Amino acid sequence: MKKIIVTDLTRFSKGDKVCTAGIDVDTGECLRPMPYLNSARCAELNIQPGAILKGDLNIHVNTTSPHIEDANYTKLEFHGPSKAKEFKDILDNSLSGTVSLGFGIAFGVGQKYIPIEMNANCSIITIKVNPYEIQIHEDQYKPGKVKCSFTDQSGNQFRYLSITDRGFYDYAQRHQNDGSLNILQNFLQSQDDIYLRIGLSRAFQISDRNGYWLQVNGIYTFPKFHQEIRSYQ
């Protein structure tokens, strides 16, 4: 029986499936329960980022890079929300200094994916960003949709990444729709610490680029958080 704190609750563009991932509180190992849960099951288990889950989780024997976190599970049970310090400690203990260091890939200027022939260290990392170096804004190619841009601690800029953090995306999209996205941006800049969970998609091709695409799985703020977005206390 393993105990994990949920660090990722991500949406898909289509369908009712939700991707979850969490970090084992004893080993620091990141685990992605597979098969994916649906929204109803997440609601039943009260799964939100920061939730404590217990269950029999074991890494798939046939996992391949970069999605080495895929794990079978049985008897998944909700054991309450973690405290803010617990959640922050989990994020701190999983930190990578930069995006490149975390994935083990040297990202070029403007690069937003890892080519399929390259082997990354993993498919999810945690980084910390300056509150003034993250921006939530409208998609330049799809007006009305929101994206995330940020600069990591090496000074590398990552522009217009998809936000797959389900709660954060829904909240940001509501602000975009009512023309008040600046309220969310001001909130981010008022925080002391911002942690990002950066994930890699499953492989797919855009134009002539085939690979694993960067996405923002989680956006976590301390010391404050929005009740509408998060459940951790």
Tell me if 49 sits within 8 A of 218, measured CB to CB: yes
Q: Which of 173, 127, 166, 123 lies closest to 147 in space, CA to CA?
A: 173
The single-letter code of the amino acid at 102 is G
Nearest C-alpha neighbor of 51 from the set 3, 93, 123, 92: 3
Single-letter code of the amino acid located at 186? N
| pLDDT per residue as tens, the chain (233 positions) | 999 999 999 988 777 889 999 999 999 999 999 999 888 888 888 888 999 999 999 999 888 899 999 999 988 999 999 999 999 999 999 999 999 999 999 999 999 999 999 999 999 999 999 999 999 998 888 888 899 999 999 999 999 999 999 888 888 888 888 888 898 899 999 999 999 999 999 999 999 999 999 999 999 999 987 666 654 33
Nearest to 23 by CA among 105, 101, 126: 126
* Backbone phi and psi for residue 126, each to the nearest 5 degrees, phi listed first: -115, 130
Going by their DSSP bridges, the two strands 30-33 and 70-81 should be labelled as parallel
Q: What's the whole-model pTM score?
A: 0.94
